[in-house]
Chain A
Amino acid sequence: MNFFLILEQALNGLQLGVMLFLMAAGLTLVFGIMNLVNLAHGSFYMVGAYLAAYFYKTTGSWLLGALLGLAGTLAVGIVVELVALRKLYERDHLDQVLATFGLILFFNELAAMIWGRAALYTNIPEYLSGHVDLLPGLRYPLYRLVIIAVGLAVAGLLWFVVARTRLGMLIRAGASNRAMVAALGVNIRMLYTFVFGFGAALAGLAGLMAGPIYVVQPGMGELILIEVFVVIVIGGIGSIRGALAGALIVGMVDTLGRAFLKPALATVWSPTAADAAGPALASMLIYLLMAAVLALKPQGLFPARL
């Protein structure tokens, strides 16, 4: 029984991890290649969730809604890059933070104007709801297994694109020396636009998968964004491998901390002390981890080599 519980919690950690990875991959790429701090990354997560919910409602097909939501987020990402962010690459980080914070406010109010401030109803389609018995005594929601599968598939695809294709070569080159890539005649602006749109689409994918189990409302992106920043700091800014490792570590540490820290403390201290300290410590755990990583390896676990 106890073994199954630990296994189930490990699955929960994995699921949270892949979700964080989808967000972190785009954020870390944009930072690594364009040297842009994009606080509005959470907005794409929200846009993905809203568009998918909207298209699901209008088309009646969840899959079609998801695909249109994904394409829509890609388009929104590209437009944002062309209109707003392009001018910010040469500015310092503080200007970027201010401008992208403005984008957060803009997108939140836009969503509130179009869809209202109340949370939106979305549900899991019939064929993805319910749960499966993985092992006798280990029941797991099917939808969460699908999230894990999609997340791992995207991670594999991303590895393939970055490590094995010409496009990936350009991305890697852009990350290590932008000026040189531009000097060699590569259209770096287009590469930037593409990478940014792609990163936005990944965040949108996370958002549209999160929609039916979390809450679709203005400002939903900011709830997860802080954890995503923790992920890329732990993993190493600009590194996809680091983002994957960081996301899985944060997902696991957070989940296992929430589940087992209090009972573990109770065996050492008195139960009342564990009751008081457990939840507080569990919610601090990933930040403590980040602080430890920063102290020992300031560049993160996998510094950017991609």
Chain B
Amino acid sequence: MKKNFLGALAIAALVAAAPAAAQQKVKIGFITTLSGPQGVVGEYMKNSVELALDHLGRKMGGLDIEVTYGDDQVKPDVGRQVAEEMLKKQQVDFVAGIIWSNVMLAVAPAVTDAGKIMVGTNAGPHELAGKQCNELFFTTSWQNDDTPEAMGKVMQDRGITDVYLMAPNYAAGKDMLNGFKRSYKGRVVDEVYTRLGQTDYQAELSQLRSKNPKAVFVFYPGGMGISFLRQYSEAGLRGQFPLYSVYTVDEISISALKHAALGQYETRYWSPDLKNAANQKYVSDYRKKFGKMPVFYGAQSYDGIMLIDSAVRAVKGDLKNTKGMVAAMKKADFASTRGKFSYNTNHFPIQNFYLLKTVTGPAGQDPVMEIQKTVFTNHKDSYSKECGMR
């Protein structure tokens, strides 16, 4: 009898507490790609969000956290629909994530128009860095042009001339090569655009060899990169023409490429071997929890959650205080996996860029990417001047 009474009391207490608890939650909508061939990237991002929540003890500024995941299927319209549902139905306080620039351009305005804060964790279209910059939009990644600019600088500094450029024939492919040419001033042997999603590059590789360049620069994300690099090695070009790239080799594709990735140069703002406490904790815990090396998409997503945490803590859990949260975010006052960085006026990071090389990993394991040197220190993107914010 006594037991029952206590039980009833406990239930009554729970019922009384429930409505209050429901209001006292930080609600985050995280949109990424979770289905189809590109779903693998979303998996790494989702895992990293979960890891960030673990590290925060599943609380932000004393409030519980509720994350809703959404799948954009790599489609702008689907992404926007998912975001609107999150804003109206789940009434989220923040929307975060987004891999693709075209999806971001559809989602970000929907979120900021609703008066909520958008935290991008990958896509960095130049529109949002420049003319369409917004007080409520932050990103923990980069602007699309930054990374190829860094590689252009590397090749310029090394005095490499006669570079052969290749990329898929779509908006980002052209942006990447233009970014490269902004800092590389040497001779370009040829600029070749291939079909988006192409699998066979033998014809292009034959042409490449006949032109006999001093080096090659490519942008082949995802599966295209795996096909391209395998065929590049198989055709015996690996030893002949040094290959430089952006977003072509990463910790996801290395496990499919193994030796075909060895010797590859990439530029990036983050690497698993970056020496800082937050990163070492992130990398070792990620490997422990998921049994894989994390990838930059994940590190940025982890940072995104930490950025939100810093804002919620600054306003002491008062989620209505959007102004206070924006002001806190501008300080970038959190332990980022890429070390301390600051925000530019357009809410894009001012950060370092490094040259990475794929080298043999520990015995019996996949190759790893290692930082060779710093290319840019506190680099600002090229579009911040077009942004009206101060």
Contacts and interface: CB of A to CB of B under 8 A. Distances in A.
A117 B37 contact: yes
B276 interface: no
A50 to B, nearest CB: 13
A88 B58 CA distance: 52
A195 B86 CA distance: 50
Interface residues of B, number: 37
Nearest to A210: B199
**Residue of B40, B202, B226 contacting most chain A CB atoms (<10 Å):** B202
Contacts of B36: 108, 218-219
B365 interface: no
Contacts of B197: 223
B204 interface: yes
Nearest to A121: B256
B202 A118 contact: no
A12 B202 contact: yes
Interface residues of A, number: 48
B230 A213 contact: yes
Contact of A131 (B235, B255, B256): B235
A1 B169 contact: no
Q: Most chain-A CB neighbours within 10 Å: which of B200, B236, B252, B257? A: B200
B194 A279 contact: yes
Contacts of B195: 279, 282-283
Contacts of B39: 112, 117
Contacts of A9: 203, 206-207
A12 B206 contact: yes
Contacts of B61: none
A30 B37 CA distance: 28
Contacts of B252: 118-119
A123 B195 CA distance: 25
A224 B199 contact: yes
Nearest to B191: A275
Nearest to A130: B236
Interface in A116-131: 116-121, 123-124, 129-131
A139 B223 contact: no
Interface string A91-121: 0000000000000000011001000111111
Nearest to B210: A5
B331 interface: no
A121 B365 CA distance: 13
**Interface centre among B36, B203, B227, B236, by most A CB within 10 Å?**
B203
Interface string B242-255: 00000000001101
B258 interface: yes
Contacts of B35: 109
A120 B256 contact: yes
Contacts of A269: none
Contact of A12 (B203, B210, B230, B258): B203
B341 interface: no
Given A15-B202, A16-B200, A143-B234, A216 B256 contact: yes
A55 B40 CA distance: 23
A226 B247 CA distance: 27
Provide the main secondary structure of the chain B interface: helix
Main secondary structure on A side of the interface with B: helix
A212 to B, nearest CB: 7
Interface in A175-222: 210, 212-220
Nearest to A129: B234
A217 B206 contact: no
A244 B363 CA distance: 47
A117 B223 CA distance: 11
Contact of A215 (B191, B223, B234): B223
A213 B210 contact: no
Contact of A283 (B169, B199, B227): B169
B74 to A, nearest CB: 11
A40 to B, nearest CB: 16
Most buried by A among B210, B234, B236: B234
A265 to B, nearest CB: 13
B210 A1 contact: yes
A8 B206 CA distance: 7
B43 interface: yes
A13 B200 CA distance: 11
Contacts of A212: 230
Nearest to B252: A118
A131 B223 CA distance: 24
Given A5-B210, A139-B236, A275-B191, A219 B204 contact: no
A108 B195 CA distance: 23
B12 interface: no
A199 B73 CA distance: 31
B226 to A, nearest CB: 4
A74 B6 CA distance: 65
A141 interface: yes
B389 interface: no
A144 interface: yes
B234 A121 contact: no
Interface in B245-286: 252-253, 255-259
B253 A124 contact: no
B383 interface: no
A258 interface: yes
B202 A117 contact: no
Given A5-B206, A280-B169, A117 B227 contact: no
Quick one: which of B37, B169, B224, B252 has the most chain A CB within 10 A? B37
Interface string A220-238: 1001100000000000000
- List the 9 shortest-distance A-B pairs measured between CB atoms, nearest first: A117-B40, A119-B256, A279-B193, A215-B223, A283-B195, A219-B37, A215-B226, A255-B203, A214-B199
17 contacts: A5-B207, A5-B210, A9-B203, A108-B37, A118-B252, A119-B223, A119-B255, A124-B234, A130-B236, A131-B235, A214-B200, A215-B256, A217-B37, A219-B37, A220-B37, A258-B194, A282-B195
Given A108-B36, A215-B223, 9 more contacts: A12-B203, A123-B258, A130-B236, A141-B235, A141-B236, A213-B231, A215-B230, A215-B256, A217-B256
